[in-house]
């Protein structure tokens, strides 16, 4: 049988491997990048300043509180 402590340790290891960051909403280190990018009309991911450079704007999701944010 798996204890709560073992489950918490396993969950913490997975979040660390995923590069989790601290959530600005709840303060838990459970915010992970889920992907996504802002796309231009041509379908390419474009910089928001219109420079033509590719913008890697990722969507982040907090597994502790459900907060989503863009980076």
Structure tokens at 67: 């907060």
Per-residue pLDDT at 20: 94
CB atoms < 10 A from the CB of 1, how many? 3
Residue range 33-41: average pLDDT? 61
Question: What separation in angstroms does the CA of 5 have from each of 8, 10, 19, 31, 65?
Answer: 5, 9, 21, 20, 20
- Return the domain boundaries, the chain: 15-70
Least confident of 11-15, 19-23, 38-42, 49-53: 38-42
Does residue 26 have a pLDDT over 70?
A: yes
Cβ-based neighbours of 64, under 8 Å, separated by 6 or more = 23, 26, 28, 30
**Residue 55: which pLDDT band, with cuts at 50, 70 and 90?**
low
Output 38 or 8, whichever has higher pLDDT: 8
Put simply, whether the predicted model's pTM sits higher than 0.75 gets the answer: no
């Amino acid at each position: 049988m798996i204890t709560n402590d073992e489950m918490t340790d396993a969950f913490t290891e997975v979040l660390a491997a995923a590069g989790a960051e601290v959530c600005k909403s709840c303060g838990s280190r459970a915010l992970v990048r889920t992907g996504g990018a802002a796309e231009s009309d041509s379908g390419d991911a474009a910089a928001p300043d219109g420079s033509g450079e590719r913008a890697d704007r990722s969507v982040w999701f907090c597994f502790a509180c459900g907060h989503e944010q863009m980076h």
